[in-house]
Amino acid sequence: MCMSIFSALSKADKKSGRPDPPPGFSKITASEAERAVSGNLCRCTGYRPIIDTCKSFSADVDLEDLGLNCFWKKGNEPADASKLPSYNSRAVCTFPEFLKAEIKSAVDQVNGALVTVSDDGWYHPKSIEELQRLFDSNWFDENSVKIVASNTGSGVYKDQDLYDKYIDIKGIPELSVINRSSKGIEIGSVLSISKAIEILSDGNLVFRKIADHLNKVASPFIRNTATIGGNIMMAQRLPFASDIATILLAAGSTVTILVASKRLCITLEEFLQQPPCDPRTLLLSIFVPEWGSDDITFETFRAAPRPFGNAVSYVNSAFLARTSSDHHIEDICLAFGAYGVDHAIRARKVEDFLKSKSVSPSVILEAVQLLKENVSPSEGTTHPEYRISLAVSFLFSFLSSLANSSSAPSKADTLNASYTNGITNVSTEYSPVEHLKVDCNDLPIRSRQEMVFSDEYKPVGKPIKKAGAELQASGEAVYVDDIPAPKDCLYGAFIYSTHPHAHVKGINFKSSLASQKVITVITAKDIPSGGQNIGTSFLMLGDEALFADPVAEFAGQNIGVVIAETQRYAYMAAKQAVVEYSTENLQPPILTIEDSIQRNSYFQTAPFLAPKPVGNYNQGMSEADHKILSAEVKLESQYYFYLETQVALAIPDEDNCITIYSSAQMPELTQDVVARCLGIPFNNVRVISRRVGGGFGGKAMKATHIACACAVAAFKLRRPVRMYLDRKTDMIMAGGRHPMKVKYSVGFKSDGKITALHLDLGINAGISPDVSPLMPYAIIGALKKYNWGALEFDTKICKTNVSSKSAMRGPGDVQGSFIAEAIIEHVASALSLDTNTIRKKNLHDFESLAVFYGESAGEASTYSLVTMFDKLASSPDYHHRAEMVEHYNRSNKWKKRGISCVPITYEVNLRPTPGKVSIMNDGSIAVEVGGVEIGQGLWTKVKQMTAFGLGQLCPDGGECLLDKVRVIQADTLSMIQGGFTAGSTTSETSCEAVRQSCAVLVERLKPIKESLEAKAIPVEWSALIAQASMGSVNLSAHAYWTPDPSFRSYLNYGAAVSEVEVDVLTGATTILRSDLLYDCGQSLNPAVDLGQIEGSFVQGVGFFTNEDYATNSDGLVIHDGTWTYKIPTVDTIPKQFNVEMFNSARDQKRVLSSKASGEPPLVLAASVHCAMREAIRAARKEFSVCTGPANSTATFQLDVPATMPVVKELCGLDVVERYLERISAAGPNTTKA
């Protein structure tokens, strides 16, 4: 992120056409600053604070829109630009000259005389002749040598990047040509995409449209590196879904290639249709012809999960047409790509049909019907019908624009097409109302944050900056893989099963350089005598094996660990492993909830963990006026996508001891499992976790697998062993969130009051229990946010042959809360009532809350949900926006909006937690806590609480102590009973343990302070500690805080309103605005809690919309990298993102009346899903779409995630055909839809 914005600043400041900005700012615009990080990923912040930082460099930024102001401003005073750090483009650091000299020397060396060929290496020919000599040499082997320019393609085809030698052709001048002429532009094959954009932007209409589309390909930093030629070559040789090939095909481009020393100039279409080129074929350049602008229409289209954020298209298209003076099509080119074929193609039959025709609805209808016959995704393509529908939508949009351009405005038949940011928008008349003018893809994002600060416990309650923020921003923070490799360190990589249930008969390797570097393969037989084959275990709920032995029980299970001299060789060897399987005498695998139920394969839940029913279901159903029976909803899995994948370093020590550096949320559990695996006492195992690069539950139980694997290898080989999983392996083995299938029956009165609910809940747990037995309690707990009258349920925890599902942020709660909303919305549809009316009707009063939640309900004064929900859902602003949404939907055919308000109730549990505070002789303070810093701001809050706890000894209340406090890493031999960092309450319980420790120290130091004061000696902190040290006062105190038996849990409340816009033609959803209201109690640090609220919400948005954690028919994860798995990015979060922290009534049973903020806000993201349902309902009503079991426009099943294909299918895959048939039948004089 830092490099992305720095690059954008440098580029902007070099632009000569812009006026100089005011002092302290850059020439960059706010929109450019935001776009600069559009391809970067962040899983913690929700992007808003990062975006604010980027925008703060811009002179055109709205200062009131920066979140920093909520901490700086007082009351209604105007924002003050002088508080922003000043920026001076002339004062930024430059690349050190000595490093430039070293790089130049290294490049000169490899570019010098003939390079000696070794087993592996990187070669830089300076001419085509030198390249040919390398091709002709004896060592050139296409299986071990890769031709590259920037090698960004390895990010897509990771498993194919198993080469020993690379030839870098970027230094060949002939491949970097730029030739402009009256006939067109020739672009050298190794020019970057960014350079091509720069060249094409300064051209005619066709060139500019190509440049505009290229700006939506990949991301800024990839475009700056990736080459035009590399993209085209991948499209030719591999089934690569290239946008560039498609748009250049439509523009009539040609390519020049070198084959066996011969130059050939052929059309791009011919080039793509050839058999895959061999590695010796060289693409020299691409020529884009000059088309002019008279009578030429050129448009490009793409539908992708993100408008700008590095996402491959479901379908891309580009169309070029020349029309005559009488508005007939003289010539036309229709190019389609990415829909499930090997390369981009031209729809020749459709082109032939359209030539010489004048565009009308009937002609468009025939064209799209013909297109459907010619665009045929290959077998195995995901969502084939959706992709065909997209192709139809794009052609419809383009031909509609031709029809409109050939008609007088008064006679246009509303086929008014425009294309914005990769999303088709064919619209009817737009209302002049300002609200309806919002551009869904407008940048920059707007936001507002509201909170109240308190000085009562200062510095607790202050929005101080996050501890270690500078280290993280500068890249100096040390994570496990940053620890320098110890002497003789070895590296490991997992070999995992690709079969769901099979005997493992043997492991072999393909002959390669990597296989020659393999030291050994660690398997179950290498576990020390007395040890166990155990990879994880939790609370006596059950264990999971470290190695498949002798049967692999799921696809993705660890079979063995390759140990090699480097991490790269370990990766390569693991990918080249050939595993022999046998399914003899084994039952077919159980992969789904349905399979599990059919074969009665379950895990049991202990009675004390099971949730309790409420009321009498049969009586409640008998009181109902209406009933919905056996309705169904499904929720799929979600991957953690922490930025730091699973990693560990194991160092063997004397006397059967071992030290493990682990990225773990539960170091104590890691110590436990490693000790059991090795068969040694717990005190022989030291686990150290300084910080974790994102966890979200994935570094809890799952982190023990990699720690154990490293430990077994290190123990056997008596050498340090480290492992850092590549993203694909991590995604395949991670497990993730629990998929669920729910059937429900509900009874309700005519006014919407629900009287009874029954659930049949199926939870796919995977192969081992992990935390799955805890899930029913969490699911039902979140579901109980409404008063169902009577509630009963039947839960089945399904044992299946897939990776074990584990805790992921808000485990069970996010599903349970969503299930509740699905039921509420179903009831509203059945009664044709407003959904918020049903919600309000069934919210608890305090008496019913106490019945459903028992002691967790707390005091009546702390029940804030009804107030919060009313503040949003009953406000004049909400009603006005709802009216505007209705007006918009009446005025727009091809885009629909929806708005929804969702309440949440989230129960959290308090756990015993240790803390230790030690004051050094110089007055500096070291603090240890049981929790681990995983990005949630634990260390920051602990520092504040330490300063507050010792503040009685300081005249300023402890604020002077903040800079003296250091929170140190978790160490299982130093801090025992550390517990685990999960459940959202670790920060507050760690703070309370620290406060108790400080109280002990204060009692010890008070007499010395009073003695000094009695002598009229100024009591400076350093002097106080020096006096205590000389007096042999114990300056270290430890506390083990345990919650009050009557207060082990409490409820969190929140509400959110989200407004979305759905593109009926593509299924794309834009979140126009989200307003979050969250009860944070008396926040320990409002800045940290605000970040948690926003980040959690955005992670929830990913779960409900785009994150499709798909598997194949064997249960093996196939969406296994950034290419196929799409978390939210800058361009998919709410365009207006407002957060208010609600300060509820004080409750001294909580830690300084604070509340948790890490997980509950994630559940608020259901408001986006519910708003999408409203928009889809409007689309179905518009086009009379009746699908699903209910055969109704209003009632339908919208599962999770609601991806673009899902949304489009519910809106209607054939809406274009329906519309065209209707207006064609209405006759040629039809002018309005």
Binding-site residues from annotation for Mo-molybdopterin: 665, 696, 809, 983
Alpha-carbon distance 652 to 715, whole Å?
A: 6
Question: Which whole-number Å values give the CA distances from 763 to 783, 784, 798, 816, 1194, in the listed order?
Answer: 15, 18, 6, 12, 28
Which residue from 646, 727, 658 is spatially nearest to 486, judged by alpha carbons?
658
- Binding-site positions for FAD read 243, 283, 302
- Binding-site positions read 42, 44, 243, 283, 302, 665, 696, 809, 983
The answer to whether the CB of 424 falls within 8 A of the CB of 1066 is yes
Burial of residue 977 (CB within 10 Å: 0-12, 13-18, 19+) is exposed
Residue with tokens 């294909």: 1205
Per the annotation, the verdict on 1059 as an active-site residue is no
The answer to whether the CB of 1092 falls within 8 A of the CB of 1076 is no
3-state secondary structure of 938: helix
Question: Which whole-number Å values give the CA distances from 670 to 106, 660, 704, 1040, in the listed order?
Answer: 44, 9, 5, 21
Which residue from 638, 704, 722 is spatially nearest to 665, judged by alpha carbons?
704
The answer to whether the CB of 268 falls within 8 A of the CB of 245 is yes
Report CA dihedral (135, 139, 142, 147) to the nearest 10 degrees. -60
Two tokens at 1039?
A: 């506390």
Neighbours of 15 (CB within 10 A): 9
The answer to whether the CB of 686 falls within 8 A of the CB of 667 is no
- Binding-site positions for [2Fe-2S] cluster read 42, 44
Neighbours of 221 (CB within 10 A): 19
The answer to whether the CB of 1204 falls within 8 A of the CB of 921 is no
Phi, psi of 875 (to 5 degrees): -80, 155
The answer to whether the CB of 663 falls within 8 A of the CB of 722 is no
Neighbours of 374 (CB within 10 A): 16
Residue with tokens 């309700």: 748
Burial of residue 73 (CB within 10 Å: 0-12, 13-18, 19+) is middle
Report CA dihedral (1198, 1202, 1207, 1210) to the nearest 10 degrees. -20
Alpha-carbon distance 247 to 318, whole Å?
A: 5
Two tokens at 364?
A: 């468009």
The answer to whether the CB of 303 falls within 8 A of the CB of 314 is yes
The answer to whether the CB of 451 falls within 8 A of the CB of 1138 is no
Which residue from 1102, 1095, 1124 is spatially nearest to 1169, judged by alpha carbons?
1102
Residue 484 DSSP class: P
Element (H, E) at 929: strand 925-929
Q: Which of 299, 907, 933, 1159 is catalytic?
A: 1159
The answer to whether the CB of 892 falls within 8 A of the CB of 1078 is no
Neighbours of 541 (CB within 10 A): 18
Phi, psi of 144 (to 5 degrees): -125, -5
Alpha-carbon distance 770 to 703, whole Å?
A: 13
**Three-class secondary structure assignment of 372-431:** HHHCCCCCCCCCHHHHHHHHHHHHHHHHHHHHHHCCCHHHCCCCEEEEECCEEEEECCCC
Q: Angle CA(35)–CA(37)–CA(41) in degrees, nearest 5?
A: 135
Catalytic residues: 1159
